[in-house]
Structure 1
Amino acid sequence: MYAVFKRELFSFLNSMVAYITIGVFLLVSSLLLWFFPDTSVLEYGYAELSGFFNLAPYLFMFLIPAITMRLFAEERKEGTFELLITKPVTLWQIIGAKYLASLVIVLFSLIPTLVYFYSVYQLGYPTGNIDSGAVIGSYLGLFLLGSAFTAIGIFASSLTKNQVIAFAVAVFLSFFAFSGFDSISKIISLQSFESTIVNLGINEHYLSISRGVLDTRDLIYFISFAAFFLLLTKLTMGGRK
């Protein structure tokens, strides 16, 4: 499994796609956080990063599918997946290695954003006047959100040989998982089930963790969500195998 993980990670690091997608993510988030009047921390006047953490999930909807779209689609297109499954590794180990390698890239994309926290920390009056607990919780929530989107992206990549289709499917599923249940809950005929439907979506659990309180129910939700899509990937690739 480690060999597959190492291969995938170095494949990412040797590809310009990873650097371009991470660069675009950091550029757009920086512009939204510091320059655009409607979302700028400087215009808002409060030492907090809520604007960044509210916008980051929507940036992740494009960043993570761009990272994961090639994982299985490219393997199948080039015929290397058949060679890979002849190695002494199980399908679960292959999926797990690809998933962990993608998560490392997601983590790499988050680490530079700590500069935002340091900047706002210094800009606060007095210095350090920022809710660090909420920021830590938001970063944890964002990483868990990334783990969920990564599982979706791997599943989408297992469905097709075309990377563009895999990207589009992953974006759609990520958006629906994040915001779709909130929209469905607003339907008049389903208002009696509103709370239950909202809890099925990622957004409710992401917001819960972002408040700085780690509830085991939210943690179990994200783990179960990722495991579900990895299981779907296993079923999809197992059938093709």
Structure 2
Amino acid sequence: MYAVFKRELFSFLSSMVAYITIGVFILVSGLLLWFFPDTSLLDYGYAELSGFFSLVPYLFMFLIPAITMRSFAEERREGTYELLITKPITLWQIVTAKYLACLVLVLFALIPTTIYYYSISKLGYPEGNIDSGAVIGSYLGLFLLGAAYTSIGIFASALTKNQVIAFAISAALCAFAYLGFDYSSQIFAMQNFETTISSFGINQHYQSISRGVLDTRDLIYFVSFATLFLLFTKLAMGGKR
């Protein structure tokens, strides 16, 4: 399993796609947070990063599908998947290894953004006037959100040999998982089903963790969500063995 993980990770790092994708993510988030007046932290007037943590889930809808789209799609297109499944490794281990490799890349994309926390902390008055606990909780929420999106992306890549189609499917599923249940709940607002339906969506659990409240129900939700889509991926690839 480790060999597949290392092979997948280094194949990403040896290509320009990973660097371009992560670079675009950092560039766009930086422009939105520091230069565009409607979303600039400098115009907000408070030493906090809530604007950043509100924007990243939408940026992740494009970043993570771009990272995961090649996981299985490229293997099947180039014919290397047939060689992979002949190795003494289970299908579940292959899926998990590819998932973890993509998740490490998502973590690589998040690490440079910690400079925003340092900058806001230095710009605060007095210096260091920022709720570090809330920031740590929000980063944990982002990581869990990335884990959920990555499981969706791996699943989408298992459905097709075309990376562009895998990207489109993944982006659409991520958008629905994050926003779809909230919009659907508004339809049933008068029938008292609004809270129940919203609880199935990612947004409610992400917002809960972003407030710095670490609830085991939210952790169980994200772990269960990722596990479910990894099982879907195993089933999808199991039918193509």
**TM tier relative to shorter chain:** over 0.9
**Matched residues in 2 for 1:196 and 1:227: separation?**
21
CA contact (8 A) 2:69 2:153 kept: yes
Who is 2:160 aligned against?
160
- 2:99 aligns with 99
**1:88 aligns to what SS in structure 2?**
coil
Using a 3 Å threshold, how does the CA distance of structure 1 residues 199 and 87 change in structure 2: closer, same or farther? same
Trace 1:93-172 onto structure 2 (pairs within 5 A). 93-172=93-172
Give the Cα separation in 2 of the matches to 1:65 and 1:8: 16
Superposed CA offset, 1:108-134 (max 9, x none):
000000000000000000011111111
Deviation at 1:189, TM superposition (A): 6.7
User: Where does 1:1-241 land on structure 2 (aligned, <5 Å)?
Assistant: 1-188=1-188, 191-241=191-241
Does structure 2 retain, via aligned residues, the 8 Å contact 1:66–1:167?
yes
Q: CA deviation at 1:213?
A: 1.1
For the 8 Å contact 2:188–2:194, the answer to whether it is kept is no
Supply the distance in 2 between the matched residues of 1:184 and 1:71 (Cα, whole angstroms).
Answer: 31
Q: String of CA shifts for 1:49-78, please: whole Å, max 9, x gaps.
A: 000000000000000000000000000001
Structure 1: where are the runs of 5+ without partners? none
Q: Given the two structures, how large is their TM-score scaled by the length of structure 1?
A: 0.99
1:10 CA drift (Å)? 0.2
Q: Equivalents in 2 of 1:59, 1:191: separation in Å?
A: 33
The CA deviation at 1:192 is: 1.5
C-alpha displacement of 1:45 = 1.1
**What is the CA distance between 1:11 and its match in structure 2?**
0.4
Contact 1:185 1:191 in 2 (8 A): no
The whole-number CA distance in structure 2 between the counterparts of 1:169 and 1:190 is: 32
SS across alignment from 2:119 = helix
Q: Which amino acid aligns with 2:140?
A: L
Q: How many residues align?
A: 241
Return closer, same or farther for 1:192/1:121 CA change in 2, 3 Å cut-off: same
- Tell me how far apart the structure 1 counterparts of residues 6 and 130 of structure 2 sit (CA, whole Å): 38
Cα distance, 1:198 vs structure 2? 0.3
Distance 1:186 1:128 in 2: 40
Once the two structures are superposed, what CA deviation does each residue of 1:174-229 show, in whole Å capped at 9, x if it has no partner?
Answer: 00000000000001476411001000000000000000011000000000000000
Q: Structure 2-normalised TM-score?
A: 0.99
Equivalent-residue separation in structure 2 for 1:188 and 1:232 (angstroms) = 29
State the one-letter code of the partner of 2:198. Answer: V
* Residue identity opposite 2:224 in structure 1: S
Q: Which residue identity is paired with 1:18?
A: A
Partners of 2:61 and 2:9 lie apart in 1 by: 21
- Structure 1's 101 and 197: CA in aligned 2 closer, same or farther, altered over 3 A? same
Extract unaligned runs of 5+ from structure 2: none
More helix by share: 1
AA in 2 matched with 1:77: R
